[in-house]
Amino acid sequence: MSNPMEQLMKRRESAETRLRREKFNAKVRITVGSATCENAAGAPDVFKQVEELIKRHGLKDVTLSRVGCTGRCDMEPVVTIFSQRTTPVKYITMTPEKVEKVFDSHVLKGIPVKDLAMPNEGVQDTDFTEEKLWADARLTDRFSSVFGDVHFFGKQMRMTLRNCGVIDPEDMDEYLMVRGYQAAVKVLTEMTPNDVVNTVTKSGLRGRGGGGFSTGVKWNFALAQKNEEKYIVCNADEGDPGAFMDRSTIEGDPHTVIEGMIIGGYAIGARVGYVYIRAEYPLAIKRLEIAIAAARQAGFLGTKIFGTEWDFDIEIRLGAGAFVCGEETALIRSIEGERGMPRPRPPYPAASGLWGKPTVINNVETFANIPVVILDGPEWFSSIGTAKSKGTKVFALAGKVCNTGLVEVPMGTTLREVVYGVGGGIRDGKAFKAVQTGGPAGGCLPESYLDTPVDYESLTAAGSMMGSGGMIVIDEESCMVDVARFFLDFTQDESCGKCTPCREGTKRMLEILQRITSGRGVEGDIEKLLRLGDTIKRTSLCGLGQASPNPVISTIKHFRDEYEAHIREKRCPAGVCAGLLTFSIIPEKCIGCGACKRKCPVPCIAGKPKEVHEIDQARCIKCGQCFEACKFDAVKRS
Amino acid sequence: MKTEKSTCACQKDTDESTLLKRLDVVIKEYREKSGALIPVLQIAQGLFGYLPEVALKRISLGLDKSYSEVAGVVGFYSFFSTVPRGRNLVRVCLGTACYVRGGKQVLEAIKKHLGIDVGQTTPDKLFSLEVARCFGACGLAPAITVNDDVHQRVKSAKVHEIINSYRTVSRAKAARQKREKT
């Protein structure tokens, strides 16, 4: 049998021939983004429309394919048109009507439609060729040459998301074109498990799920266990509200996760891998299933993979809606078919995990980094980032920021650069109030902390944490007490109930917060919250409980005045806490235009045209829409 | 493994004994696998639309687990429901991004519009309402899903339009089924 790497390269060659014939040699190549968020924004209709247009005009040299998400959530659906030797043009917020216009002009006549395209500031690559896209260059270098959107992508470094939005996630051949599976073959043929573990350790890669534990050390621990049966698990139970990078990675580039797992499995000696994924992500599950099936068919999964002596296969397990299952010991219980309750560590899963066997659990993003570490080398990888945090981190930037979406920046980039640089600042000219990182386990950091670099230690020292990478920007319109209450409501609801501090403590903290936000707060509540928080932090069984008071403690630390206004003055400075608000109409100012009445969702506003309107306080849900609708400032919020 | 959708909000128009037979096949297929309980429950919920007691008993016997253990698992995970759901399942995202961009107001408006609280089903069995913790569509906040469709940037003043579009479809479907039966 010939050498596995040669076989892989042969396969890549035939993939290239096929792709050139079917896709890339076309005069015009059109790609439509098709992740969950793009589909929600209307991508399927746009795709159908392009398909229809190609058919209608009988065009033979125009091809159409789907790609994953590029991370420009606020501009979706995105349609990219590649034509030979010119920079690809990205059209944003497409609709079937708009895409027809683009098609008529750009595809048929060769004239790009400037006003529908993404504003392209900065440097443009004027000599774009498909070859550049597939060159054997460093895996991360490919991105900006495809996406001229320099003011968004130029500040980023796409490592985990290197192929998202570039390749068709449902076509394994395209993954092969971007050096896919070469890392796996290299590991299986040229390296011993020890070499792999050492390489990963040397790279300084740390767990991207939030814990930040060294991946190499974890693998080494599992490798050292003498046991015939070991398991490797990919944690795709992305439960943090506000985090969607794992979903996007799997939807945009599922094979990289599979490849990372193959390498991890070989390194620790596991022949079976599980992907534990949320049932709420149907598209990601589908793409992963397609990818696993394709890999199996190619002999990349199963017995004697890649023609070597190694066996490895992957099974998908669906989560059933329990946040705590993101915690590794709870996740193990869930795969075993039990209630997902954590247990005390040690023993760590690397010693005794799934069915009592040594088990390594890594996050999606961690696995996606593994091929980069192997192919581009640990030295290069560790040259990026800070002294203790290496590589990049993907953040799901959302909330009141201009450019919502997925951003990937080198570790050590400051929060300010992410929010104002990549994120483009605050929406609608409002004032920045806080940035929340780390999901329900993290904290809210105010303006004065914006120069904190994003790495594990700095964020923890600032009172927040890296977490899985949700980053929610909060502006002056949000009440920090309410935000803290929101997170507590979440953790309290998701507490599995096994240990008392978390089960009872979060409940009591939530009650106090509810009291404060409804205007019944009393002196001493803040101190009580801090004392309870401290106890829960120190005595809870798992990460969920230990981190649950963080949002409260950090908001008290940085926004104590807001708590005090609620408690002492019975006032919500941001005008959010409904219990402290009333909406009423000032008779002198109301002209009876009916704008508020039309907007009222309940509806509880009465009044004839041109007469003074009135709000029925008993039925008012305090949504504030009348307040926004009134052009005459006749609605009073107090 | 099979990933039959268990979010299906409609009760399929197949009688119970047929469904139980199908469940038996599933149980048999999974019996020897370790950690089979959750996948089997997920498939069962996909079949029945919810998890009726008779199905749980069948599963507990088939997988040789005590009923209390099965019920414990069902009760633990929010994905499982032991009460029938309406034809359409409305889920309002209350993830952080949706929350700061008005998800709570959207929820209130839907509650008022349907006249039900979270976890309930309308008397005409057309809609069930649930809240969700993030669909991962944060860039499109606030988001809601109806069945498997994600609706983005929902405004509370417009929720009735979304809901009514499903109402029309469901009513037409029900009428058609009734006609076909007679």
Express each pLDDT in A4-22 by its tens digit: 999 999 999 999 999 988 8
CATH of A582-637, one of 3.30.450.20, 3.90.1310.10, 3.30.70.20, 1.10.287.370: 3.30.70.20
The pLDDT value given to residue A125: 53
Give every CB contact of residue A21 below 8 A, 6+ residues apart in sequence. none
Question: By the 8 A CB rule, do A466 and A473 touch?
Answer: no
- Set of chain A residues whose Cβ sits within 8 Å of the Cβ of B79: 279, 319-321
Point out the least confidently predicted range of A265-269, A548-552, A580-584. Answer: A580-584
Name the strand (E) or helix (H) holding A525.
helix A525-539
Of A62, A60, A32, A59, nearest in space to A47 by CA:
A32
Q: How far apart are CA A38 and CA A248, in angstroms?
A: 11
Answer whether B136 sits within 8 Å of A248, measured CB to CB. Answer: yes
pLDDT by residue (tens digit) across A134-167?
666 666 665 656 666 667 777 888 899 989 888 9
Residue A577: what pLDDT? 87
Continuous segment of H or E residues that includes residue A504: helix A500-517
* Cα separations in angstroms, B21 against A413, B17, B33: 58, 6, 20
Name the DSSP letter for residue A473. E
Residue B25, min C-alpha distance to chain A (Å): 19
A623: nearest CA in chain B? B105
**Cross-strand bridge partners of residue A233:** A274, A361
Closest Cβ opposite residue A436 in set B96, B138, B143 = B96
Token pair recorded at residue A254: 């599922």
Global confidence as pTM: 0.89
Which class for A282: exposed (0-12), middle (13-18), buried (19 or more C-beta within 10 A)?
Answer: middle
Out of B139, B152, B157, whose CB is closest to A398? B139
Per-residue pLDDT of chain B (182 residues; tens, 9 = 90+): 444 444 444 444 567 889 999 999 999 999 998 899 999 999 999 899 899 999 999 999 999 999 999 999 999 998 898 988 888 999 998 888 888 888 888 998 999 899 999 988 999 889 999 888 777 777 778 999 898 788 888 988 889 999 999 998 888 888 887 787 77
So where are chain A's domains?
20-148, 176-381, 392-475, 480-568, 582-637
Indicate which of B92, B100, B113 best probes the interface with A, i.e. most A CBs within 10 Å of its own CB: B100
**Tokens in use for B19?**
């469904």
Domain A20-148 fold is Glutaredoxin (3.40.30)
- Amino acid identity, position A43: A
State the smallest CA–CA distance between residue A373 and chain B in angstroms: 28
Measuring CA to CA, which residue among A513, A617, A621 is closest to residue B105? A621
Q: Among the residues of A104-192, which ranges form H helices?
A: 109, 130-134, 143-146, 150-153, 172-177, 182-190
Q: What is the pLDDT of residue B10?
A: 45
pLDDT at A49: 95
User: Could you give the CA distance from residue A420 to residue A433 in angstroms, rounded to a whole number?
Assistant: 13
In chain B, residues with a C-beta closer than 8 Å to the C-beta of A248 are: 136
Under the banding of pLDDT at 50, 70 and 90, the label for residue A563 is very high
Sort out which chain B residues have CB atoms less than 8 A from A474's CB and list them: 100
pLDDT at A59 over 60: yes
Give the mutation candidate from B133, B148, B160 for the A interface (greatest A CB count, under 10 A): B133
Q: Count CA atoms closer than 13 A to B142's CA, side-chain side.
A: 26
Contact in structure between A523 and A567 (CB atoms under 8 Å)? yes
Closest approach of A236 to chain B, Cα-based (Å):
12
* CB hemisphere CA count around A410 (13 angstroms): 16
**Confidence (pLDDT) at B2:** 41
Asked if the model's pLDDT at residue A121 lies above 70, the reply is no
pLDDT value for A227: 93
DSSP-derived pairing of the beta strands B127-132 and A272-277: unpaired
Question: Per-residue pLDDT averaged across A529-540, rounded?
Answer: 97
* DSSP structure class, residue A426: B
Whether residue A99 has pLDDT greater than 90: yes
Residue among A249, A563, A509 nearest A394 (CA): A249
pLDDT at residue number B5: 44
Burial class (CB in 10 A: 0-12, 13-18, 19+), A239: buried
Q: Which of B3, B34, B135 sits opposite A280 (nearest CB)?
A: B135
Interstrand relation of A313-318 and A272-277 (parallel, antiparallel or unpaired): parallel
Res. A258: pLDDT tops 50: yes
Token pair in block for residue A249? 């990675």
pLDDT tens digit sequence for A416-454: 999 999 999 999 889 999 999 988 889 999 999 999 999
A–B interface: beta-carbon pairs under 8 A:
175
Write b or e for each residue in A82-91: b if 16 or more Cβ atoms lie within 10 A of its Cβ, otherwise e. bbeebbbbbb
pLDDT score recorded for residue A145:
61
Q: Which two tokens stand for residue B26?
A: 């599933």
A581 vs A536 pLDDT, higher one: A536
Query: pLDDT above 90 covers what percent of chain A?
Result: 68
Q: Spell out the residues 6+ positions from residue A259 whose beta carbon is closer than 8 angstroms to its own.
A: A180, A181, A183, A184, A367, A370, A371
Position A85 pLDDT exceeds 90: no
> Beta-carbon neighbour count of residue A619 at 10 Å?
12
Q: In what order do the strands lie in the sheet with A359-363?
A: A313-318, A272-277, A231-236, A359-363
Question: What pLDDT sits at residue B175?
Answer: 83
Query: Quick one: closest CA in A to B137, which residue?
Result: A37
Q: How far is A182 from chain B (nearest CA, A)?
A: 28
CATH 3.10.20.600 fits A392-475, yes or no: yes
Residue of A127, A157, A152, A155 lying closest to A142 (CA atoms): A157
* Strands in chain B per DSSP E: 88-93, 127-132, 144-146, 149-151
Residues A625, B157: C-beta atoms closer than 8 Å: yes
Euclidean distance between CA atoms A120 and A149, whole angstroms: 5
Q: Which of A236, A212, A258, A239 is nearest to A391 (CA)?
A: A212
8 A C-beta contact, residue A328 and residue A211:
no
Contact B97 A624 (CB under 8 A): no
How far apart are the C-alpha atoms of A548 and A606, rounded to whole Å?
44
Asked whether the predicted pLDDT for residue A312 surpasses 90, the reply is yes
Q: How far apart are alpha carbons A432 and A414 in whole angstroms?
A: 16
Contact list in A for residue B97 (CB cut-off 8 A) is 241-242, 398-399, 404, 472
Q: What distance in Å separates the CA atoms of residue B65 and residue A598, rounded to the nearest whole number?
A: 57
Contact list in B for residue A238 (CB cut-off 8 A) is 136
Residue in the block written with tokens 């609709």: A95
Residue B141 confidence (pLDDT): 83
* Candidates 2.120.10.70, 3.40.50.1820, 3.40.50.11540, 1.20.1560.10; CATH matching A176-381: 3.40.50.11540
pLDDT value for A73: 82
Please compute the mean of the pLDDT values over residues A304-320 and round it to a whole number.
95
Instruction: Say if the Cβ atoms of A241 and B5 lie within 8 Å.
Output: no
| Closest CB to B73 among A338, A405, A496 | A338
Quick one: CATH architecture of B88-181?
Answer: 3-Layer(aba) Sandwich (3.40)
Token output for A453: 């670099």
B137 contacts on A by Cβ (under 8 Å): 36-37, 40, 244
Q: How far is B100 from chain A (nearest CA, A)?
A: 6
Q: Which two tokens stand for residue A151?
A: 């003011």
Other C-beta atoms lying within 10 Å of the C-beta of residue A219:
25
Per CATH, the number for A480-568 is 1.20.1440.230
The band of A126, judged by pLDDT with boundaries at 50, 70 and 90, is low
First to last CA, chain A: 80
Mutate to test the interface with B, among A246, A283, A474, A490 (most CBs of B within 10 A): A490
Residues in chain B closer than 8 A to A69 (CB atoms)? none
